[in-house]
Chains A and B, each alone.
Chain A
Amino acid sequence: MPMDLEVVATSQDRPLPTPNSFSKPFWDGTKRHELVLQKCNECGTFRYYPRPRCPECLSGNTEWTKVSGRGTVYSYTIVHRPLARWFKDKVPLVCAVIELDEGVRMVSNVENVDPYAVTIGMPVRVIYDDVTDEITLPKFEPVPA
């Protein structure tokens, strides 16, 4: 059988993002427990992850705008093998593509739910995982019925 993936899962540290001059408003937002995304001032299209130009109209005229934090599961996978040692006691975890109500998609985790209960189209809302003083990861949970 193929090798045990433990061989590649040797990093003990939790992998975390590194905010830069460009993405700082996004990470500052999550720290305040707000989901703040780039919105094109020309055509109104939201985009994620942070980048210089609108993928629809190519304008660089952008405003960081707070969004609802609500959306649905576009696709998901239940990850059974740890990517790195830090994830060892976190699996199985749900890694999902969330389609926000504003039409933009993000990769995140769906938490506070049995992984096997997650479905495509499931309504979700943002939650915040305050990992360090600097970093808060946006994650999602099912919207209660």
Chain B
Amino acid sequence: MRDADIAIVGIGEARVGRDAGCTSWELHAEAVETALDDAGLGLRDVDGLISCPSTIDDHARHHVLLAEHLGMPWKRYTDSSRVGGASSTSAVRDAANIIRSGLAEVVLISCADSQRSTIGRGDTPVVKMAHYHSIDYEIPYGPLIISLYALIAQRWMHEYGWTPEKVAEVAVSQRYNASLHPGAQERTPITIQDVLNSKPITDPLRMLNCSLISDGGTALVVTTRERAQSLKQKPVYVLGMGNAYSYYFCWNLPDYTDYVRMLVQTSADTAFAQAGVSRDDVDLAFVGDPADICTLVGLEGMGFAKPGEGVDFVQGGRIRVGGDLPVNTHGGCLSYAHPGAPGQHLHLIEAVRQLRGGLGDRQVPDAKIAAVHGDAGVLTSHCTLILGNDR
């Protein structure tokens, strides 16, 4: 295993779930305060800031404005991570590189959004959608954001003969995991039949195949291994990082199965090689999951399931807490929460919690290594991190 030089030392969440009742700026501030308290640091210890812009309250220099809101107009480094859902793992990657290059020592990553309550600037929904998708070549035809994931799901189900019944196990497993987390937005256990009977949204995706819509804020504090030793929490080390970037619009992908799997694999292989650990060393995994199909694609691409067999891999409770490879132990975007930009930051926060230990029923026993895969832009942008509690 590689000798890790970067650690995550603080985590914080703010009002994650239903209607937070405030702007993203307040959520940022609350999450940051929690994360710094968790680390045993104060705002004056922070010399770098990475914001992940809110979809509702975005600004040209969001990171500078955020610093102003947080009361830290002095800082050595600020920037925004703009990789959609993968801004989570990408921001940690950027923090690691900033720290390694000597531009900052303590980097705060802050992310907040109010997609559920839409409290904020109040752009029209089409303008917000156009921020991500093509107002010329997609939106006139009426796809929801989640419809673009449905196009990928349809193709995987077609090529591999996956049935809705088998795919539904992802949602059922994620809800089981969420039932163990007191902070999850949806905790009531569901059955395969519940998934199949839920409201159609964008075939083949029904309501329970899709992520939730939430409000909430998240923050993480990243610093050097040396600095981490004197802080409050057991450090969680960044052992390896990898990326793969591809087209912006998913319909430009040469194909929706092999090519997409290859992107995840490229990102994961790089991270595993850098970490010097193998798939067998991984105790638990996290996959960005705007829709259940992403979890299945992720498990194949990360090398845990064979090509075309992702759906078989998840059967029998294998990705539940207590299973062979617990995945998204907080319930993921499907059941924990999906506040928009912070959706996959919650995966990172849960990974850190698991590697610190002491989570009771939800704890993966003796968890040492977590693989965290961030994906964005309908499986076109990827960033994987390997985290461990031992350097």
Contacts and interface: CB of A to CB of B under 8 A. Distances in A.
B151 A76 contact: yes
Given A10-B125, A49-B137, A120-B155, A107 B143 contact: yes
A14 B124 CA distance: 12
Contacts of B202: 77-81, 95
Interface string B237-249: 0000000000001
B142 A93 contact: yes
A17 B135 CA distance: 6
Given A16-B140, A75-B256, A97 B118 contact: no
A105 interface: yes
Contacts of B144: 5, 79, 81, 83
A90 interface: yes
Contacts of B118: 7-8
Interface residues of A, number: 46
Interface in A93-115: 93, 95-97, 105-109
The SS class assigned to the A binding surface is loop
A80 B203 contact: yes
B251 A106 contact: yes
Given A105-B252, A120-B158, A81 B138 contact: no
A91 B136 contact: no
Nearest to A8: B125
B187 to A, nearest CB: 13
A10 B136 contact: no
Nearest to B203: A78
Contacts of A96: 151
Contacts of B251: 97, 105-107
A117 interface: no
Contact of B152 (A75, A90, A93, A137): A75
Interface in B195-251: 199-205, 207, 210, 212-213, 249, 251
A2 interface: yes
A15 interface: yes
A113 to B, nearest CB: 14
A5 B205 CA distance: 15
Given A8-B118, A17-B137, A109-B142, A83 B154 contact: no
A11 B143 contact: no
A82 B142 contact: yes
A15 B143 contact: no
Nearest to A16: B140
B22 interface: no
Contacts of A2: 207, 210, 212-213
A3 interface: yes
B143 A79 contact: yes
Contact of B207 (A1, A97, A105): A1
B116 interface: yes
Given A75-B152, A77-B202, A97-B251, A91 B124 contact: no
Nearest to A137: B140
Nearest to A93: B142
B259 to A, nearest CB: 13
Nearest to B338: A2
Contacts of A16: 140
B135 A15 contact: yes
Nearest to B210: A2
Nearest to B256: A75
A68 interface: no
Contact of B126 (A1, A11, A23, A120): A11
B129 to A, nearest CB: 7
A50 to B, nearest CB: 9
A9 to B, nearest CB: 6
A77 B151 contact: yes
Most chain A CB within 10 A, of B126, B139, B212, is at B126
Given A17-B140, A77-B143, A84 B125 contact: yes
Contacts of B151: 75-77, 95-97
A106 B137 contact: yes
Given A11-B126, A18-B136, A75-B154, A91 B200 contact: no
Interface in B152-174: 152, 154-155, 158
B260 to A, nearest CB: 12
Contacts of A10: 124-125
Interface of A: 1-3, 5, 7-11, 13-18, 23, 48-49, 55, 74-84, 87, 90-93, 95-97, 105-109, 120, 137, 139
Given A17-B136, A75-B154, 20 more contacts: A3-B213, A11-B124, A15-B140, A49-B134, A74-B155, A75-B151, A75-B256, A76-B151, A77-B154, A77-B203, A79-B143, A83-B139, A83-B142, A92-B200, A95-B143, A95-B151, A95-B202, A97-B151, A105-B251, A107-B137
25 contacts: A1-B207, A2-B210, A2-B212, A3-B116, A10-B125, A14-B140, A15-B126, A15-B135, A17-B135, A18-B136, A49-B136, A49-B249, A75-B154, A77-B150, A77-B204, A78-B202, A79-B202, A80-B199, A83-B142, A87-B142, A95-B202, A105-B252, A107-B141, A120-B158, A139-B141
